Amino acid sequence: MSSTTPSTHFPRETAVDVRNLRFRYGSHEAVKGIDLSIARGEIFALLGTNGAGKTTTLELIQGYRVPSEGTVTAFDLDPVKDGRALRRRAGFMMQEAGLIPEMTVRESLCMWRDLSSRRDDVDATLAKVELTHKASTRVEALSGGERRRLDLAMTIWGSPELIVLDEPTTGLDPDSRQTLWRLVRNLKEQGSTIILTTHYLDEAQALADSVAMMHQGQVAVQVEDHPAARTGAAHHRNHRCAHLRARPRPLHRFHRLPHR
In terms of CB distance, is 105 or 212 closer to ligand ATP?
212
Q: Per-residue x/- marks for ligand ATP, 141-170, CB under 6 A?
A: ------------------------------
- Residue 23 CB, shortest distance to ligand ATP, in Å, is 8
Closest to ligand ATP by CB, 10 or 25: 25
Q: Which is nearer to ligand ATP, 30 or 163 (CB)?
A: 30
User: Residue 96 or residue 114: which is nearer to ligand ATP going by CB?
Assistant: 96
Which residues on adjacent β-strands are paired with residue 44? 195, 210
Q: Please state the closest distance from residue 60 (CB atom) to ligand ATP, in A.
A: 10
> For 23-29, which contacts have Cβ atoms below 8 Å and span 24 or more sequence positions?
23/53, 23/56, 23/57, 23/60, 23/65, 23/67, 23/68, 24/68, 25/56, 29/68, 29/217
Q: Which is nearer to ligand ATP, 48 or 91 (CB)?
A: 48
Stretch of 43-51, 69-77, 106-114, 201-209 contacting ligand ATP, by CB under 6 A = 43-51
Q: Determine if 196 is a binding residue for ligand ATP (CB under 6 A).
A: no
At its nearest, how many Å lie between ligand ATP and the CB of residue 105? 26
What gap in Å lies between CA 255 and CA 44, rounded to an integer?
A: 20
DSSP conformation class of 104: B
C-beta closer to ligand ATP: residue 51 or 101: 51
What does DSSP say about strands 14-25 and 69-74: parallel, antiparallel, or unpaired? Answer: antiparallel
Distance in Å, CB of 198 to ligand ATP, minimum: 9
Closer Cβ to ligand ATP, 50 or 117, answer by number: 50
Contact partners, residue 91, CB within 8 Å, separation at least 6: 154, 155, 156, 157, 158, 160, 162, 163, 164
Give, as ranges, the residues between 47 and 66 that touch ligand ATP (CB under 6 A): 48, 50-56
The yes or no reply on residue 27 touching ligand ATP (CB under 6 A) is no
CB of 151 to ligand ATP, least distance (A): 16
For residues 151, 152, 158, 160, the Cα torsion angle rounded to the nearest 10 degrees is 120
**Chain centre distance of CA 145:** 17
Q: Does 30 bind ligand ATP (CB under 6 A)?
A: yes
Count of residues of this chain found to bind ligand ATP when the rule CB under 6 A is applied = 11
User: Distance between CA 252 and CA 205 in Å, rounded?
Assistant: 15
In whole angstroms, what is the distance from residue 250 CA to residue 248 CA? 7
Give the chain's length. 260
Nearest distance, CB of residue 196 and ligand ATP, angstroms: 12
CB of 167 to ligand ATP, least distance (A): 6
Measured in whole angstroms, the distance separating CA 155 from the mean position of its chain's CA atoms is: 11
State how far the Cα of 241 lies from the Cα of 210, in Å rounded to an integer: 8
Rg of the chain over Cα atoms, rounded to whole angstroms, equals 18
Residues within the interface to ligand ATP (CB under 6 A): 25, 28, 30, 48, 50-56
